[in-house]
Homo-oligomer: A and B are copies of this chain.
Amino acid sequence: MQENEKKNKKQDIYREAAKLFREKGYNAASMRDLAERVQLKASSLYSHIGSKEEILVKICFDNANHFIDGMEKVENMKGGAADKIKALLLLHIRTAIEETTAVTVFNDEWKHLSEPQLSEFVKLRKDYENRFRKIIKKGIDEGELKDLSAEIFLYSLLNSVYWLHNWYRPQGKIKPEQLEHDIVLMLMDGIINVRM
């Protein structure tokens, strides 16, 4: 039972840390704040975790791996560039809804990683973006996508979904299904109403 309680406490700490990092930013969030939230003294945290940065490292790399796994599935699926881009957008949207706090930390706080994890993280992120870019370029070459800059497509798409967590509230008026539908349609076909 002890082992079980310890695990629950550890999960507690990670979950509350993610929330805290999100609210205040990694540097402004102190171990005393965190301890208070899980009803411990600061020093007791160190019976469960090794360091503050260890928490950040786990959140960042868990999420990076999640997106890279998703990318692998998309690369192996059948379909054209539009299908694959749509699948990637859904991956981002669903993750943002289901793992809001973790995604926030992953997106906003990774820069506070220290070496060598920082370089490793940047490498993973660049790898992900390269694979996304490749899909876009193929779509442009084959005429499925407009002949504009792949770079601009890539980052406009990513920016639209990267910071979803900053405004979307799962408890609000907009249902997840509508969110998915509208964002995908808008990025694919634009906001302009084309009259037939």
Contacts and interface: CB of A to CB of B under 8 A. Distances in A.
B25 A186 contact: no
A129 to B, nearest CB: 9
Q: Tell me whether chain A's interface is mostly helix, strand or loop, or mixed.
A: helix
A192 B140 CA distance: 9
Interface in A137-195: 139, 143-149, 151-153, 155-157, 159-164, 166-168, 173-174, 178-179, 182-183, 185-193, 195
Contacts of A153: 182, 186, 191
A89 to B, nearest CB: 11
A131 to B, nearest CB: 16
A32 to B, nearest CB: 15
Interface of A: 24-28, 82, 85, 108, 111-112, 139, 143-149, 151-153, 155-157, 159-164, 166-168, 173-174, 178-179, 182-183, 185-193, 195
Given A144-B192, A156-B187, A188-B190, 17 more contacts: A25-B25, A25-B111, A25-B112, A27-B28, A28-B112, A108-B108, A144-B193, A145-B193, A146-B190, A146-B192, A148-B186, A149-B174, A149-B178, A159-B159, A160-B160, A187-B190, A189-B189
